[in-house]
Structure 1
Amino acid sequence: MGKETKTNAMRILDRQKIPYQLNTYECGEFIDGVTIADQLGQSYDMSFKTLVMTGKSRQYYVFALPVDKEVDMKKAAKAVGEKSVEMLPVKDINKVTGYIRGGCTPIGMKKQFPTVIHESAAGLPEMIVSGGRLGEQIILKPEDLCKVTGGKFADIIRD
């Protein structure tokens, strides 16, 4: 069996000695997080998607929220101190983050952008985020994700 190629996210976690589990699954193209959670029998509350947005200041921001929830743009903007934020166009994801749609994780982007994790994660023993490529997930403690990204917890979802 060949040596598994690690993603940037995994290398960073290894370097900082942050424990995580790698979960792999069959995936040839982008599939939304709810479908993946259903296929793998994972809780929506533990499975987080990564969204990248741009503020009025042209700064990029990263938001992690449960796969079955919608981001509240006003709450997201307030959490990062912006008047407003908008989604990064899909065509720009790789250029900005170094990851592709469906494989984007808050850990190890080309630059470390301000990161906000939905506050529901703070009460979880562990959470699931993308592993940095399609078909890979990283399972880790929410406080470890917060630490490695320099992130914070806040309410960023639509009620």
Structure 2
Amino acid sequence: MKVLKFIGIGIVGLIVFLLIAAMIIPKDYTVSVSTTINKSQLVVFDYVKMIKNQEKYSVWVMKDPNVKIDYTGVDGTVGSKSSWVSLDDNVGVGSQQITKMNDDRIDFDIHFEKPMKGDDSSAMIVESLSDNQTKLTNEFYGHADYPMNLMSFVFKGFIEKDQAQNLANVKKILESQP
């Protein structure tokens, strides 16, 4: 009986500790991943600005070959949008829209409907390193309300892994082109 009481006190203590820790952990977080691509800045920029190209490199899109994607607006311009519906919870339901663009950066607003509701944003930053070498950075700007912000460490790990794979896919696609 004393063992059960000790275990119960330990569990309550752990929960209290985690809730206090969640008060300290920031609610906003950024995940940033970069790679170098042996192509010009213009070639890389022209490729990643096209939302439809994500069908070829995004691990999230490729997780469900039956995902339904609708595109509105002129692809590769401010206002263009993709909306997706998938029965696979790893893909879910949501949309992304280009909200801002200049010669070296594309900003997106991302809206998630399922499996969890949320609004976040991301950016693709395309920096010229030389005539034929470009640094491509993918940044994700997330938010998690208390106490879910405690899980941001887990979210960040998953997002970083997938972003790195997305950039590796873009690199492979672009460097295989003449």
TM range (shorter): under 0.3
Larger Rg: 2
TM value normalised by structure 1: 0.25
Q: Which has the larger share of helix? A: 2
TM value normalised by structure 2: 0.24
Q: Which has the larger share of strand? A: 2
